[in-house]
Amino acid sequence: MENILNSELFLLTLTFLAYFIAQNIQRKTKLIFLNPVLLAIIFIIGFLMLFEIDFNTYKEGSRMIEFLLKPAIVALGVPLYQQLGKIKKQAIPIIVSQLVGCIVGIVSVVLIAKALGAPKEIIFSIAPKSVTTPIAMEVSKTLGGIPPLTASVVILFGIIGSIFGYEIMKLTRIKSSISQGISMGTASHVLGASKSMEISGNFGALSSIGLIINGILTAILAPYIIQFLGIWITF
């Protein structure tokens, strides 16, 4: 029995099954806070604790999913290409908004974390919170952060954004589909894009634009932004 529970095939099946069940729960209840990713995480943690399966064993067994993250990000270039005409027409507003979103996203979390007394390793780990996990972990590693912590923070912010993002935009009366879609991808990466895809393929493609451009800008600019902030504050 123990060999079965620790097998790669079983752990992969467990992961997919947990997400499938979580998706159906959210779809039937239509409660926004029952996010499929959040529910799947809770299910898997509960299962691992119940059957005393070591996390490293689970990580090793589900490594194929982690491996597929990077090519999945590359595949997001497809909707980006499909929306190329729209991007060209709105190129300057999109680039400027993404640049502002990237800078504000990094600077705000760094200053808040510093004000709360977080050590530099934690600050560097959460700085790339708004980009998708593979990019965020690489940026964190470059800055001297803790990549596993970065992954956790990225997922947390993605879940929060996917749950409350569109609700917040309703309250702030942001009605443009382009603004809504790109904002979700910029702030909540893949989880924001996934939520947008539930609305329509157009929203999903727009979120992918925000996800990709913000990811590129963060990977390039994060070290320089942190270095610039270091002139004014001591990490």
Q: Is pLDDT at 69 greater than 90 in this prediction?
A: no
What's the pTM?
Answer: 0.77
- Residue 73: pLDDT band by 50, 70, 90 thresholds? low
Residues 88-109: tens digit of each pLDDT = 788 888 889 889 989 999 999 9
Q: How large is the average pLDDT for residues 71-88?
A: 72
> How high is the pLDDT of residue 188?
87
Q: How far apart are CA 123 and CA 58, in angstroms?
A: 28
Number of Cβ within a 10 Å radius of residue 154 = 27
Burial level of 21, CB count in 10 A (0-12/13-18/19+)?
middle
* Residue among 44, 61, 47, 56 at smallest CA distance from 8: 61
Q: What angle do CA 15, 194, 133 make, to 5 degrees?
A: 65
131 with 219: CB under 8 angstroms? yes
The one-letter amino acid code at 81 reads Y
As a whole number, the mean pLDDT across the chain is 85
* Pure H helices in 116-176: 120-126, 133-143, 147-171
Residues 131-163: tens digit of each pLDDT = 888 889 889 999 999 998 998 899 888 888 888
H or E segment and range at residue 202:
helix 201-232
State both tokens at 135.
């990019």
CA 127 to chain centre: 13
% of the chain exceeding 70 in pLDDT: 95
Max distance between CA atoms of the chain, in angstroms, equals: 59
Length of the chain: 235
Q: Is pLDDT at 1 greater than 70 in this prediction?
A: no
> How high is the pLDDT of residue 76?
67
> How high is the pLDDT of residue 146?
92
Domain boundaries, the chain: 2-61, 79-232
Residues 171-205: tens digit of each pLDDT = 888 888 888 888 888 888 888 887 887 787 778 77
> How high is the pLDDT of residue 2?
61
3-state SS assignment for residue 233: coil
Q: How large is the average pLDDT for residues 2-30?
A: 85
> How high is the pLDDT of residue 150?
93
| Of the candidate ranges 60-64, 74-78, 124-128, the one whose mean pLDDT is the lowest | 74-78
